[in-house]
Amino acid sequence: MRISDPLKISFRNIMAAKVRSFLTILGIIIGIGSVIIIMAIGTSAQQLILNQIRGIGSNLIGVLPGASEEKGPPAGAFGIAITTLKYNDLQAILKKQNAPNVVDGAAYVNGSKTAQFQDQSRSVSFTGTTASYVGVENVSVANGRFFTKEEEADLSRVAVLGSQVAEDFFGKNLDPIGKRIRVGDQSFTIVGVLASRGSTAFSNQDKSIFMPLFTAQKIILGIDYVNFLRLKVDDEKNIDRAVADIKATLRDQHQIKNPADDDFTVRDQRAGLDAITSVTNAIKYFLTAIAAISLLVGGVGIMNTMLISVNERIREVGLRKAIGAKNNTVMFQFLMESAVITLAGGVVGIVFGTLVSLLAAIIMQKLGYQWPFVITASSVVLAVVISTAVGIFFGLYPARRAAKYNIVEALRYE
């Protein structure tokens, strides 16, 4: 028997029961399509986040309050208010003798308030930061200017708007420079509008209002600590040395002698990228496993279809055995049919998943996100392997059942 013979018989039997075969294949299409879609969208989302973080700069170091394990998140990431990080820590780090490779840095506090202009009112997020923010973050001011160090020191009530906030309140025709906007119960003079930047590192600059650090601390929030620091290193190759210098400076500032007692976390972009990659990979593969469970439903459908096919062809099995077909030959024939059904469903599922992923990418790009369309070879190979394995696994029992039929009983079956 040639290998093409079972294939021809398989296709003929599948076409003889088109509706039943289609419904069986549909379950595989949905399962495989789901695997492709989740892996594609998960990979695209991962690339979007990583590209956004890389866009901030590969020579940046973040300092957060609270200790953490080497690869774990700091305590502040869990919403715990930790007050150990101060503006004075930034000043100490920026001293050349302490961290010579750190060329600039900014301190940050965040919050949300209701912003009001005339009869318009919206809930917005605000960021209190230092005048060095523009240089550290590599942002551009589209209109007006950023606030100065003098305004920062004088607790000036000046504000710089993100591009989306400016458009929401003033539209595209009204110039916001010089206008006054109320944030909470305080009135601020608008001195600038930032160029559009979009979402970066889980926040959206375009939807934020920026104000001097001390103004945000003392007048809006009533605190004396900062939420985090971001430091700029002269060269990416000096990051490891800069991290060591920053840790030594902070231990001296906080009078910590044992590194195990650190009340801060220092992370460079590489560590952040590695951590985010690990987390997003775990989520992606978990969701893929959930989607793959739907293939069990398709597998049960295949087994049911193959059992019906076996019962309908008992006499055929008897005839084939009567003319010399061995049990393995009969078993191989039914396994081939099961594999053909699932492989066909797998191919269609790959095409379906690819088209849906492409549509999702187009929609996200239309919404303004730099969303890449990614279909990895591993996801396609995985889909083909899974579909074939499902066909063989769930087709094994019906195939073995067909192979075990007694010749005489099979020929007498009505």
Which residues are CB-neighbours of 303 under 8 A, at least 6 positions away? Answer: 394, 395, 397, 398
Same domain assignment for residues 204 and 126: yes
Same domain assignment for residues 236 and 162: yes
Indicate whether 75 belongs to any domain: no
Say whether pTM exceeds 0.75: no
* Predicted pLDDT of residue 190: 96
* Predicted pLDDT of residue 45: 79
How far is Cα 390 from Cα 388, in angstroms, rounded to an integer? 5
* Predicted pLDDT of residue 119: 87
> Could you say which of 239, 262, 285 is where a domain stops?
262
> Could you say which of 262, 284, 319 is where a domain stops?
262
How far is Cα 231 from Cα 122, in angstroms, rounded to an integer? 32
* Predicted pLDDT of residue 411: 60
Same domain assignment for residues 299 and 348: yes
Structure-token pair, residue 232: 């700029």
Amino acid identity for residue 331 in this structure: M
Indicate whether 72 belongs to any domain: no
How far is Cα 74 from Cα 86, in angstroms, rounded to an integer? 16
* Predicted pLDDT of residue 26: 83
Same domain assignment for residues 191 and 126: yes
The total number of structural domains that make up the chain = 2
Indicate whether 66 belongs to any domain: no
**Is-contact 361 32, C-beta < 8 A?**
no
> Could you say which of 230, 262, 294 is where a domain stops?
262
Same domain assignment for residues 33 and 91: no
How far is Cα 384 from Cα 397, in angstroms, rounded to an integer? 21
Q: What is the DSSP letter of 72?
A: S
**Domain carrying residue 345:** 4-53+275-412
Average confidence (pLDDT) per 10 residues, the chain, 414 residues: 59 70 80 83 78 68 79 55 89 92 94 91 93 90 94 94 92 91 94 82 78 95 93 87 93 91 82 70 76 74 76 71 73 78 84 90 81 80 78 77 68 58
Short-list 329, 397, 342, CA closest to 6? 329
* Predicted pLDDT of residue 307: 77
